[in-house]
């Protein structure tokens, strides 16, 4: 399992409310390959099964971000940011 401390540190340095990283960009940040499980949305979901200790989710939470898997990457949104309202 890759070490996600580098992802946590990277996220802490970001100032955007929301941004997307491709899987390749994340692999570059952590200097390792993502496991196959990273393709599943549930692997990134910071709100799902909080009792399960998952280093990638803990890295996001520690940096103050909520992660959502997209087709070809992951969206990171500040946990304290208001969700946009659509009418």
Check pLDDT > 60 for residue 86: no
pLDDT digits (tens, 9 = 90+) for 8-37: 999 999 999 999 999 999 999 999 999 998
pTM: 0.84
Between residues 2 and 16, the one the model is more confident about: 16
Q: Would you place residue 81 in the very low, low, confident or very high pLDDT band (cuts 50, 70, 90)?
A: confident
C-alpha to C-alpha distance for 73 and 83, rounded to whole angstroms: 20
Beta bridge partners of 78: 65
pLDDT digits (tens, 9 = 90+) for 40-79: 888 888 776 666 778 898 999 999 999 999 988 999 999 8
DSSP per residue over the chain, as a string?
A: ----HHHHHHHHH---SEEEEEHHHHHHHHTSPPPGGGGSHHHH-TTS-TTS--HHHHHHHHHTEEEEE-SSEEEEEETTSPPPP--
């Amino acid at each position: 399992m890759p070490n996600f401390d580098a992802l946590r540190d990277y996220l802490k340095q970001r100032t955007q409310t929301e941004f997307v990283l491709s899987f390749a960009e994340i692999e570059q940040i952590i200097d390792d390959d993502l496991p196959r499980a990273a393709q599943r949305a549930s692997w990134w979901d910071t709100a799902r099964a909080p009792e399960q200790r998952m280093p990638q989710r803990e890295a996001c939470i520690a940096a103050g971000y909520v992660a959502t898997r997209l087709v070809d990457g992951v969206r990171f949104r500040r946990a304290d940011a208001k969700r946009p309202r659509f009418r």
